[in-house]
Structure 1
Amino acid sequence: MRLPILTFDIETLTDLKSGAHLYGLDLPEADLGAALAKLRRQESGTDFQRLALHEIVCISGFWLDENGMKLFSFSRENYSEAEILKRFLSIFDKRQPTLVSWNGSQFDVPVILFRAMYHGLSAPSLFDQGEIDSQKRYNNYQNRYHHRHVDLMDVMAMFNGRHFQKLDDIAHLLGFPGKRGDGAYHVPEYVRTEQWQQLTSYCEGDVLNTWLIYLRWQLLKGQILASDHQHLVQSTIQYLATQPQQAEFLAVWRENSKQTDFTQFDFPSSTH
């Protein structure tokens, strides 16, 4: 594996202000969400809003380099959307990590692009395709066939949209936690009621599931040995034991690991 590695995920809400501006709506804020959802259904047959209208409320990441692991989040608890983006994008100015995501090439990175442009930010370290650094002509974060950004949903489907899978399903299948709780999407409620720890824990959970699937994918491809894979899994377990906000993730992982032959010994029996 090429270090450093940054596995990441974003959480978003519909940007009501921009939506009202785009569609010329003069409505009370309480009515905007429903109006924009209706317009979107008329446009595309789905409530899923166009990418440029996804306002980022949290970016979480799991970092691995020569010095160890770090789980982090930038959320609206402490930062505006512009500040969240500045902090995340500054990572690429300092280092050029291997970027790992689930559906990041179709959602997370394009949303970051639109929202960074909305706030007038510059991010050549992430979006340069060879104009500044000639090496990025052949290996950049945008090209789906390059490995500077590994979108696991895309590569595991062999770049065929008919084969796309849900992160939750693959995580469960492989013996990892997947999404905990009732599986519903509670991000708008978390933000409205200022449940910031629940928001970051949710986003970090997706990051951790993606990281564990990435390790399995690296094992499949022969990029790491079985002994390296086991060491990294155990290091992740040990690290998460120091992260109180991920106690539930670790507990669910311990139970789910019993369901497959390959993962049943990830947790020593004394900790079951």
Structure 2
Amino acid sequence: MADFFSDLRNILFLDIETVSQTGRLEELDTRLQSEWLKKHQQIIKDENISPEDSYFQKGGIYAEFGQVICVGVGYYVYNPDEDKLHFRTKTFGAASENEILWQFRELLEKKRWTLCAHNGKEFDFPYLCRRMLVNQIPLPDVLQLAGKRPWEIRHIDTLELWKFGDYKHYTRLELLAALFGIASSKEDIDGSQVNETYYKDQGLDTIRLYCLRDVEVTARLYLAYQGLPSDLQIEIVNLDQEKDPSSPEAE
């Protein structure tokens, strides 16, 4: 088990929070406004929902109309002397998306990470890639898929692992957390409230904490998949609050 805990150090658990590119549809680039009207017709069947409302509610889901406002990450560190497992977490939530993505890219280039996220292969990883390209940021190796064989791609998806080859349905992280007895991440807000919290409440700090809790839940879920108990004692170290010499930036 000690070897397993030691190998966990190379897995970077992550979660991203996204919002619409602007607080109102009329503030969006006119060409993108036109494209959203087409998207609205495709995805909204309720005539009572206006394009303005659908943009505010759903624009952040699509990388073409959204932006990354926070990236939360975490990784395990095992101390064999104490036989203790630590989980170090950090968020990237700068003033601009470009700065956030550059900072995150620098972390990804520090070492040979394997990335892990819930529904990461369908949302987090491609969303990050698309927004990096829009921001003219070269993709780091771990996000570069072109020319790689499937077994060369260092991505783990806790949703995909749970499906066991069954592709018929989506299983929410919250449902799996409840199933395995892992504490919920939905204390103050949930994903549907991020856009409003960001634009109307200027609540980026609230969003960062919510993002980190999702990272922690994903990391604990990964351990649960290995048969480890959900109440396993893990010391959480938030690197946003204290500068630690063994943080990813220092490695």
- TM-score w.r.t. the length of structure 2 is 0.72
Match of 1:163 in 2: 169
Instruction: Give the 5 Å matches for 1:36-75.
Output: 36=36, 39-45=38-44, 47=54, 48-49=58-59, 50-65=62-77, 68-75=86-93
Aligned partners of 1:126, 1:18: CA distance in 2, in Å? 31
Match of 2:48 in 1: none
Q: 1:61 to 1:232 in 2, by over 3 A?
A: farther
Q: Is the 8 A contact 2:13 2:117 kept in 1?
A: yes
Aligned partners of 1:233, 1:121: CA distance in 2, in Å? 39
Q: CA deviation at 1:204?
A: 0.8
Q: 1:170 to 1:114 in 2, by over 3 A?
A: same
Query: C-alpha deviations, 1:13-64, integer Å up to 9, x for none?
Result: 1124666432448xxxxxxxxxx4x643311347544332221011001122
Aligned-pair identity (%): 24
Unaligned runs of at least 5 residues, structure 1:
26-35, 142-147, 220-228, 246-272
Aligned partners of 1:231, 1:108: CA distance in 2, in Å? 25
Q: Is the 8 A contact 1:103 1:151 kept in 2?
A: yes
Q: CA RMSD in A?
A: 3.0
Aligned partners of 1:83, 1:94: CA distance in 2, in Å? 17
- Aligned length in residues: 210
- TM-score w.r.t. the length of structure 1 is 0.67
Match of 2:103 in 1: 87
Query: C-alpha deviations, 1:191-248, integer Å up to 9, x for none?
Result: 22222221111111111111111101123xxxxxxxxx4699312xx326x7999xxx
Q: Secondary structure at the match of 1:188?
A: helix
Query: C-alpha deviations, 1:73-114, integer Å up to 9, x for none?
Result: 011xx3310111111122221112221100111011111111
AA partner of residue 215 (structure 2): V
Q: CA deviation at 1:149?
A: 1.1
Match of 2:122 in 1: 106
Which structure ranks higher in relative contact order (CA pairs < 8 Å, sequence separation ≥ 6)? 2
Aligned partners of 2:176, 2:162: CA distance in 1, in Å? 10
Q: 1:23 to 1:181 in 2, by over 3 A?
A: closer
More helix as a share of residues: 1
Match of 2:15 in 1: 9
